[in-house]
Amino acid sequence: MSDLCKFGTHRVIYPLGTLPQSAEKIDNQMVCYDNEILCEVETLNIDSASFTQIREACEDDYEKIEEMILDIVHTKGKLQNPITRSGGMFLGKIKAIGKNIKTEAKVGDHIASLVSLSLTPLVIDKIKRIDLDKDQIDIKGEAILFETGIFSKIPDDIPANIVLSALDVCGAPAQVNLLVKENDDVLILGAAGKSGVLCAYQAKKNAGKNGHVIGVVYSEKEKEELEKLEVCNHIIVGDARRPMNIYDQVIEINGSQVDVTINVVNVENTEMTSILPTKNDGTVYFFSMATSFTKAALGAEGIASEAKMIIGNGYTKDHSEFTLNILRESKEMYRLFKERYGKEK
């Protein structure tokens, strides 16, 4: 094929002129062009907001979930949830490397993709297993990584499924490391999820002994799990879709609004729960793919908030190694990830 593009626009079927992520349909022929990497896919780690939407729409029926996922990939040539517009990432092995690709990786390397399935050409030959608890699907299939499609080799010291789960959200704790300063008060919505616990760990580390980390979780069970990690000074059990309820509890606990709020929930309508408890000169980091940026912008305007609002970019330089190092540093964090996302015995 001529006119190969490093961003993958040569795979766009329609609308022409768009990038693969925003395209409605892309070419998923498993032909490895000169600027691409062809991978054999073993597991799909679906974005939490996307998987939650699919589960709810299918009422946790495995056959319906399988049918919906196969239909999305058949229609779009990629796994992009038509509602949340998000995807996920994959675990697999390199099958072929285009001659124009400059990489130290080689055929046979075990890798985790670090770009969204919402832009990745994908073919699913068979769905072997659906794991509702891990947001993961074991498949027989193939995928294409573009020239700009970053990935991480699976390290020898951490099991592949744990790596996949951690790297799915590795942009979040790496961004928290840039946003949270010493003595900051930090609020984390969705603090018990995989991105939430990693963000809480890094927030507490950065904020230091005089900073405070407040986690919001949905259930008492989540609170118990989070308490074992000792990454939050306070934990609120509540519904993040009820902004005034969470706001009142934060003020009661902290005595004031917080400096930084991290939103990593997987449900809609939590924008104002993030903005209200944040100081006027504070920062709100929306990592959740369920976020409506229209609601966030207009909601902030409606309460005259000048808080800086940041879109949760899944990429930060060296974010994969940064996040895996958290699992290496914290025995409790590794234990939690092993219990949640490790292979069943």
**DSSP string for residues in 57-100:** HHTT-HHHHHHHHHHHHHHHSS---TTT---EEEEEEEEEE-TT
17 Rama class: left (phi>0) / alpha (psi -120 to 50) / beta: left
* Residue 145: closest CA among 42, 8, 253: 8
Instruction: Give yes or no for a contact between 122 and 143, defined as CB atoms under 8 angstroms apart.
Output: yes
State the Cα–Cα distance between residues 235 and 328, nearest whole angstrom: 25
Report d(CA 65, CA 56) in Å as an integer. 10
Q: What percent of the chain has pLDDT over 70?
A: 99
The structure tokens listed for 152 are 């991480």
Q: Residues with Cβ < 8 Å from 132, sequence gap 6 or more? A: 55, 60
Q: Residue 79 pLDDT > 60, yes or no? A: yes
* H or E stretch covering 196: helix 194-207
**pLDDT at residue 248 greater than cutoff 80:** yes
Q: How far apart are CA 129 and CA 139, in angstroms?
A: 7
Contact 290, 84 (CB under 8 A): yes
Residue 263, beta-bridge partner list: 189, 286
Strand partners, 37: 97, 145
Q: Is the pLDDT of residue 35 over 50?
A: yes
DSSP 41: E
Q: Looking at residue 345, what is its pLDDT?
A: 37
Contact predicate 113/104, CB 8 Å? no
Residue 302: HSE in the Cβ half-sphere, 13 Å Cα cutoff: 10
Going by their DSSP bridges, the two strands 185-189 and 122-131 should be labelled as unpaired
Give the model confidence (pLDDT) of 261-275 as tens digits: 999 998 899 999 999
| pLDDT for position 126 | 97
- Which residues on neighbouring strands pair with residue 88, listed in sequence order? 46
Provide the strand spans (E) within 199-295. 212-217, 234-237, 258-263, 278-286
Average pLDDT estimate for 203-221: 97
The answer to which of 62-66, 107-111, 313-317 has the lowest mean pLDDT is 313-317
Say whether pLDDT at 300 is over 80: yes
Mean pLDDT within 89-103: 95
- Determine the Cα–Cα distance for residues 158 and 172; give it in Å rounded to an integer: 20
Alpha carbons 124 and 273: distance in angstroms, whole number: 38
255 three-class SS:
coil
The backbone torsions φ and ψ at residue 49, rounded to the nearest 5 degrees and listed phi first, read -65, -40
- Bridge partners of 33, per DSSP, are none
Is the pLDDT assigned to residue 306 strictly greater than 90? yes
Band of residue 316 on the pLDDT scale cut at 50, 70, 90? confident
Domain boundaries, the chain: 9-154, 171-318+325-333
Decide yes or no: CATH 3.40.50.720 for domain 171-318+325-333: yes
pTM of structure: 0.86
Cα distances from 313 to residues 29, 131, 286, in angstroms, run: 28, 26, 9
Percent of the chain residues topping a pLDDT of 90: 90
